[in-house]
Copies of this chain bind each other. A is one copy, B any other.
């Protein structure tokens, strides 16, 4: 074990998402800066010459409120605290949204989620081992509620006589649990910053393997939420059949609840969800202890199970299918290795201890239940779960039975919660590597990755609605994603030990290799034996997800290349100091977007006007005040229109050159845009700024009454290189509230 890893701080801060600048970049910036300074000469911009103090120290009287809302809720200007020259701190007052709707939503969010948490609170938001076990293991631990049953359902197809096989198969699954657990202990040590399958696979098996693991996990997380919530609702509606027509509503409500809890932040949701997890664990351990105690008193006598007819012959395939089904008890094991950054420091060590505890509990509970089921001679029934039979058999149908049933229902629902902490983290890592939109990098104001949480909630709720709350058909697809990720993760670790030969590799490699082999075998068994039951959906979905992720990355890569700084070049003699990579090797005309030093920009300002009223005059004044060449444009739909505008213009004294575009077909936007394009064709070196006079309306429906032309001009012109679009709003707010 390398000592360096142990002490390394693991802090997943918001800026962990971005790389530091490279030396090459800094060097390029130096050259660019020199070029700017050179062309600007003495007209260098300085802080002292700004018309306002940017640190907001010693500012004057506040403006009067501009809207009704501002009159009601006076804005506290105290939001900004000067920290040092050039830096102000946006305190809580400064993050209140500026728009009215935004404030309402903000207040609602505060009421629901609590006050925002500063980044410095990030370490306090970490999980203790006790809470982490609850948050990150509920999925894994809840699996014991159905693992044994899933195995037996397959076995009894060959008749009651085959039931004794449940013990060796159960033992095989326990062995697999121990191997996978030991494997993940190796992974945690090697990846103390979080070793999700995506990271391990990408790191050691290549990007594509990482994407396969990520896609598998994404399907798995969504299914976990949908299936476990549907199971929880089914438990509620079996108890209260009157609620059955509300199945979908209850499910969506439940998802909204888990969503809100997770948006409150990981620690709060952890505390909230710890109780049911431990209640379930306590109930299971009690059940096993009492059951085994009684079995010991009975001299380990096996109660003969009821005789069931065989519908299938016993063969190796049936045993394999039983094994594959029983492996559903293993879903969720990877959560702790994924979630290392959520632990308190030292993160990796705490994570590993928690993993050991979880595997321990899992093994004890799974083997206990499997053994008791065998001893009590229980067989799967269509109207009662094995766990319910077992609890009834052990405790009778009293208070303890009710407790076991309630705790089971709750933890099945809470299995969804594990996905809510893993899915956003996976999206964060994908976004960091540019496979997902950058918005998943954003840590919300409660220090949770809110966007990922929201996406998971919405997709799972959509699935629930689409399947009308009957997601039982999805269970078949459920374990595939997990075993894809197990297999790739363990294979990755095996390759890693072999390549790097770090301290302890000789001990770790065989563990991971065994884990990989076994997981891969299970994956194959599941995929083959369940293909027609629905596994084909996953087999189709995963390539689709991978394609989407790859296209996102492709796009971001193109943007990054285009936006990257490039060495200055003097080939063309005078202008293009910086150029996008696309231009390297071309070296022709300097198009405006390659001209990056201020004095190299050649301007033309264009102002479309319809009439010479106050908004138009304000836009013209703004344009003229820039000190650049200005041309006013008017599209005249007939001669009278043209005459009218000329009259206005000459009364005004022709302050700005005016060009009339006669539009005999009465079209306005297209000729305007085509005219600007025609000027650009004639003068490709020009940067044309279109200054649009716009009416800033206060009510949404008023938008229909104005600015149709401005809006279309803006969205169209924006698409052409060498154009800049400026909106000069003219406000009515004060006016519209006066008599």
Q: Are B30 and A652 in contact (CB under 8 A)?
A: yes
* Chain B residues with CB below 8 A from A562, complex form: 614, 730, 732, 735
Give CA–CA (A92, B601) in the complex, Å. 33
Nearest-CB residue, chain B, relative to A698: B719
Minimum CB–CB distance for A648 against chain B, Å: 5
Q: Chain A 633-673 against B: per-residue CB contact (8 Å), 1 yes, 0 no?
A: 00101101110100110011111111111111111011101
Q: Are A120 and B681 in contact (CB under 8 A)?
A: no
Give CA–CA (A598, B630) in the complex, Å. 12
Q: Are A96 and B674 in contact (CB under 8 A)?
A: yes
Give CA–CA (A665, B680) in the complex, Å. 44
Contacts A26-B648, A625-B603; A638 near B730 (Cβ below 8 A):
no
Give CA–CA (A580, B14) in the complex, Å. 46
Q: Are B86 and A658 in contact (CB under 8 A)?
A: yes
Give CA–CA (A71, B661) in the complex, Å. 26
Interface assignment of A393: CB less than 8 Å from any CB of chain B = no
- CB-CB contacts below 8 Å: A94-122 with B: 94-99, 102, 116-120
Q: Chain A 715-739 against B: per-residue CB contact (8 Å), 1 yes, 0 no?
A: 0101111011111111111111010
Enumerate 14 A-B pairs (CB-CB under 8 Å) in ascending A order. A45-B624, A45-B655, A95-B671, A96-B670, A437-B704, A443-B637, A555-B736, A559-B706, A564-B614, A595-B621, A596-B618, A598-B625, A600-B621, A721-B734
Q: Are A59 and B678 in contact (CB under 8 A)?
A: yes
Minimum CB–CB distance for A35 against chain B, Å: 10
Q: Are B631 and A75 in contact (CB under 8 A)?
A: no
* Chain B residues with CB below 8 A from A248, complex form: none
Interface assignment of A547: CB less than 8 Å from any CB of chain B = no
Interface assignment of A695: CB less than 8 Å from any CB of chain B = yes
Give CA–CA (A296, B658) in the complex, Å. 77
Q: Are A638 and B681 in contact (CB under 8 A)?
A: no
- Selecting from A47-55, A235-243, A251-259, the interface stretch reads A47-55
Interface assignment of A246: CB less than 8 Å from any CB of chain B = no
* Chain B residues with CB below 8 A from A602, complex form: 51
- CB-CB contacts below 8 Å: A502-518 with B: none
Q: Are B556 and A705 in contact (CB under 8 A)?
A: yes
Contacts A14-B638, A54-B657; A559 near B695 (Cβ below 8 A):
yes
- CB-CB contacts below 8 Å: A1-26 with B: 13-15, 18, 20-21, 25-26
* Chain B residues with CB below 8 A from A601, complex form: 621-622, 625
Nearest-CB residue, chain B, relative to A84: B660
- Selecting from A60-68, A204-212, A319-327, the interface stretch reads A60-68
* Chain B residues with CB below 8 A from A696, complex form: 718-719
CB within 8 A of A552: which of B59, B95, B705?
A: B705
Q: Are A98 and B670 in contact (CB under 8 A)?
A: yes
Q: Are A558 and B621 in contact (CB under 8 A)?
A: no
Give CA–CA (A662, B102) in the complex, Å. 21
Interface assignment of A310: CB less than 8 Å from any CB of chain B = no
Nearest-CB residue, chain B, relative to A26: B651
Q: Are B719 and A99 in contact (CB under 8 A)?
A: yes
CB within 8 A of A721: which of B66, B558, B559, B664?
A: B66
Q: Are A726 and B725 in contact (CB under 8 A)?
A: yes
Minimum CB–CB distance for A579 against chain B, Å: 9
Q: Are A729 and B718 in contact (CB under 8 A)?
A: yes
* Chain B residues with CB below 8 A from A647, complex form: 20-21, 26
Count of chain copies = 2
Q: Chain A 600-628 against B: per-residue CB contact (8 Å), 1 yes, 0 no?
A: 11111000000111110110011011111
CB within 8 A of A666: which of B14, B657, B695?
A: B14
Interface assignment of A33: CB less than 8 Å from any CB of chain B = yes
Give CA–CA (A689, B726) in the complex, Å. 9
Main secondary structure of the interface of A (DSSP, over half): mixed
Interface assignment of A46: CB less than 8 Å from any CB of chain B = yes
Interface assignment of A563: CB less than 8 Å from any CB of chain B = yes
Interface assignment of A466: CB less than 8 Å from any CB of chain B = no
Minimum CB–CB distance for A42 against chain B, Å: 13
Give CA–CA (A624, B35) in the complex, Å. 14
Q: Are B670 and A580 in contact (CB under 8 A)?
A: no
Nearest-CB residue, chain B, relative to A705: B437
Interface assignment of A260: CB less than 8 Å from any CB of chain B = no
Give CA–CA (A663, B77) in the complex, Å. 16
Give CA–CA (A49, B295) in the complex, Å. 103
Minimum CB–CB distance for A708 against chain B, Å: 6
* Chain B residues with CB below 8 A from A637, complex form: 14-15, 119, 443
Minimum CB–CB distance for A236 against chain B, Å: 37
* Chain B residues with CB below 8 A from A521, complex form: none
Interface assignment of A439: CB less than 8 Å from any CB of chain B = yes
* Chain B residues with CB below 8 A from A731, complex form: 593, 719-721
CB within 8 A of A90: which of B30, B580, B621, B663?
A: B663
Nearest-CB residue, chain B, relative to A30: B651
Give CA–CA (A661, B80) in the complex, Å. 9
Contacts A621-B601, A664-B90, A729-B718; A555 near B702 (Cβ below 8 A):
yes
Nearest-CB residue, chain B, relative to A120: B664
Nearest-CB residue, chain B, relative to A122: B638
CB within 8 A of A732: which of B89, B558, B654, B658?
A: B558
Give CA–CA (A695, B437) in the complex, Å. 14
Q: Are B718 and A727 in contact (CB under 8 A)?
A: yes
Give CA–CA (A592, B613) in the complex, Å. 16
* Chain B residues with CB below 8 A from A358, complex form: none
Minimum CB–CB distance for A613 against chain B, Å: 4
Interface assignment of A289: CB less than 8 Å from any CB of chain B = no
Q: Are B667 and A32 in contact (CB under 8 A)?
A: no
Interface assignment of A303: CB less than 8 Å from any CB of chain B = no
Interface assignment of A375: CB less than 8 Å from any CB of chain B = no
Contacts A45-B655, A655-B36; A95 near B621 (Cβ below 8 A):
no
* Chain B residues with CB below 8 A from A438, complex form: 705
* Chain B residues with CB below 8 A from A578, complex form: 614, 617
Q: Are A641 and B18 in contact (CB under 8 A)?
A: yes
Q: Are B729 and A724 in contact (CB under 8 A)?
A: yes
* Chain B residues with CB below 8 A from A599, complex form: 625
Interface assignment of A249: CB less than 8 Å from any CB of chain B = no
Contacts A582-B735, A640-B15; A629 near B724 (Cβ below 8 A):
no
Q: Are B559 and A666 in contact (CB under 8 A)?
A: no
CB within 8 A of A439: which of B98, B708, B732?
A: B708
Minimum CB–CB distance for A568 against chain B, Å: 12
- CB-CB contacts below 8 Å: A139-190 with B: none
Interface assignment of A353: CB less than 8 Å from any CB of chain B = no
